[in-house]
Structure 1
Amino acid sequence: MAAPTPRSAESPRQISYRISHQTEYHYSEPVAACQNQIRMQPVDGGNLVCHDTLVRIDPDPNSWDEHSDYFGNLVTTFSIESIHTALRVVVESRVTVTKPVISDAEALIPWEQALREQTGWLNPHIEEHRYRSPRIVPSDSFAAYAGESFAPGRKIVEAALDLTRRINHDFRYDSTATTVDTTTEEAFGLRAGVCQDFAHVEIACLRSIGLAARYVSGYLRTEPPPGKERLVGADESHAWLEIYAGEELGWLGLDPTNACLVSTDHIPICVGRDYGDVSPMRGVVLGGGTNTLKVSVDVAPVEANSAPASTSGKDAGESSLGKP
């Protein structure tokens, strides 16, 4: 998960990116068969347009299926039924991200109005994000923490950003403090963790006062120190959240790891109730002994009108997804 990264004062209106996400497993013993799901392919929606996506898998899968899950995320399921000692999955995409625009009128909406506009049977896909999920359980403790930002009548954008900044200030970014299985309550008590924990805690706070909030996984463009070249493969997966801020504004992205509103440095890939809905890769193997995992992510800005990645010549281990 990405560590805090200093953000520029003003984001450009629109940025196009080439993204490469490479996952490699090496096994101490032969694997007889495996079945996996990946959620690494961007889809059109919100402030993102996906121009093309290419998936390569080695060894070649024996079966391959693509579908959209309940939340609209693109999922590839594949199985390998031959002996292998390593597995390599590469997902390459080209996307364009547009900076969200908040009008003066939208910025003045009180948070109680946003709460009223997200309830009821007409908004089932919004209201479901107001309640507990497997990894996030609302509580009085989370509500009390959120209440310091969401005073009566306070504007939704102002209150949400204040909560985001307070979590950033009060919590320590520490990759050794938590694991992928650390509960949200434990991370809240530790006041430490990584971006997954920061996002879970803020979602728990928002849901505890009745507001809809959902988990977002994706990528964050990192900026090298002044005078240094960017390192290829040094970018990482990142996590943030979105709050439903009313009918006019819709879903508003918040990044508590970096104390900011989401903009063109953030590239969304999947949304869900919590991390359990959007983990990039999951699966089962038969055999394999112990394994080592290596993940490399590269996020490179490109010209918006540059040529798309090739999507020709696909076979069992290569598929073009998204827009042609």
Structure 2
Amino acid sequence: MLDSLDLPPADALAVDAYSRTVSSVVDRVGPAVVRVEPQSADRRRAGMGSGVVISPDGLVLTNSHVIAGATRARLALPDGQTTEATVLGDDPDTDLALLRATGARSFPSARLGDSKTLRRGQLVVAIGNPLGFESTITAGIVSALGRSLRARSGRLMDDVIQTDAALNPGNSGGPLVASNGEVVGINTAMIGGAQGICFAVASNTATVVLSEFIAHGRVRRASIGIAGQTVPLPRRLSLALHAGERAVRVGEVVSGGPASAAGLREGDMIVALDGHPVTGVDDLVRLLNADRIGRSVSLSVISDARLRTLDVTPTERR
């Protein structure tokens, strides 16, 4: 086997630089990665995953599917100590959960970075506890950005990072770290049977969810009080009204809800919200975020083969 001494000087320097970068990331972030053992009501272990401490006072980010509905968890720290934690927030729609470790101590922590600065081909490091093997490190590159992935709740998660850093059961909830030592994602899923296709929730998504958890204890989302389905638009209608190829057909309007008050009817087709195209239910769910709660929005609707605009004031979805 070749070692760095057997390589041409330029290649040896590159290998050494790569090794130093990965080692530096591990030294900085590794102490903040914990094993998460959610506990059921009778305090039995319900499963196992990973998490990352993001503040010295013990705030821990992990996956919603790791917590699996539990309200408490046990954290195993890299130094061998354990501590209890309570669940502050759980959002299956983004597969993120926030815990707070109990006990008066200062925890090693990692910093959430800006995932928008990522580029394809950039080096990333995954740290976690796969298959019960503590503090395992894998490295790879950012394979793609802006992927969409279906959460276990059925909602489509946007802005997901694809990487080839190896993940296994138990890695879920652990950090995906850039070469500068900042956490740019929370590892969430792997594709069974695939080779080197793994995913992480972007850190910018985690930052938004984190602020909602801290402020409200949940992630708030808007609702206009309808049930709908994605349908294709007849080409003639699409061309005539300058609409897309698909829309959301309203199947039910909740009596007394925002859509009902605005005059939306069953059979109407929603094609845009505040000027943003709506080509399916996922678009509508994504656009109805917390910023639109209690604020009038403009719905572009096809009704009786005519395009009309309705002003609707969403309420918080429960």
Same fold (TM over 0.5): no
Relative to the length of structure 1, the TM-score reads 0.24
The structure having more radius of gyration, on CA atoms, is 2
